[in-house]
Amino acid sequence: MGRLAGKRALVTGAASGIGEATARLFAKEGARVLMTDLNAERGQAICEEIRAEGGEALFLAGNLVDEALPKELAALVEAEFEGRLEVLANCGGILIQGPFLEQTDEDLDRLMKINFRGAIRMMRQFIPVMVEGGGGSIINVTSISAQWPEVNSYFYGAAKAALNVTSRNIAKEFAGTGVRVNCIQPGPVNTGMTPQEVKDDPALMQGLLDHFCMLGRMGRPEDIAYGALYLASDESSWVTGTDLVIDGGACISN
């Protein structure tokens, strides 16, 4: 307990999956957490659960494609967090899959707007806040699809790869300011983005486990959240510009 005591954190995509697990864990470890997600009802419910368990949390509903969202969050940081932010966890994102010849320009644009540009806008808004405060940790959740060929995840992987590369460049630019920027690359994690046909078909699920999950199970959102906790904490004060792969051995499955 208390690994993030005294820190103020912003978590996107906080109403489900990895974002929810990260927000809950950050609060449990002592951070004051500002949560945002498109799902207002679910996000507010999670926020209230965190408070009921003794944590400190705020929630603001918003869409990552909305240019105004970072500024709205910044206003809350100013009002509720004394204008300080030590941790930014960009967990929000979507998954669009399909055969290459069936993927559309609209699919590509949507993935880039949410999975790439959404995180870029958050960093652009809050890096100056972190610099002024003496430093901070940015954690961008990407995917092993960014570096490992995965049929049907063409544009999804491209958006995540773009975020990986940009994160490393930003880490280099701001290394002297105390702002650290790292990525987490999850493997197969059982979240709301797991295709329903896989969840509903035991044979498909077992095939996924047999082929990709060397440790014998799908990942859980908490598995990724614990990696985010390390990167958010002072324990990782000498870590920046890296990609932390948490994949149950998927990258060594072939």
pLDDT in tens, 85-122: 999 999 999 999 999 999 999 999 999 999 999 999 99
Q: In which band, very low, low, confident or very high, does the pLDDT at 252 lie, cut at 50, 70 and 90?
A: confident
pLDDT at 148: 84
| 1 in a structural domain | no
| 202 in a structural domain | yes
| 142 in a structural domain | yes
Q: Which residues contact 23 (CB under 8 A, 6 or more apart)?
A: 11, 14, 33, 35, 46, 50, 57
Q: Please give the share of the chain, as a percent, with pLDDT higher than 90.
A: 81
Averaged over 62-78, what is the pLDDT?
97
Write a three-state SS string for 25-56.
HHHHCCCEEEEEECCHHHHHHHHHHHHHCCCE
| 22 in a structural domain | yes
Q: Give phi and psi for 117, each to the nearest 5.
A: -65, -35
- Between residues 194 and 12, which one has the greater pLDDT? 12
| 19 in a structural domain | yes
Whether 195 has a pLDDT exceeding 80, the answer reads no
Tokens encoding 21: 């697990």
Whether 61 has a pLDDT exceeding 70, the answer reads yes
CATH of the domain at 181: 3.40.50.720
Whether 137 has a pLDDT exceeding 60, the answer reads yes
| 40 in a structural domain | yes
Active site residue 230: no
- Containing structural domain, residue 153: 8-244
pTM of the model: 0.94
| 151 in a structural domain | yes
Averaged over 145-171, what is the pLDDT?
93
Q: What is the mean pLDDT of the chain?
A: 93
| 21 in a structural domain | yes
Q: In which band, very low, low, confident or very high, does the pLDDT at 216 lie, cut at 50, 70 and 90?
A: confident
Instruction: Give me the catalytic one of 154, 156, 226, 230.
Output: 156
Q: Which residues contact 31 (CB under 8 A, 6 or more apart)?
A: 4, 5, 7, 8, 9, 56, 87, 232
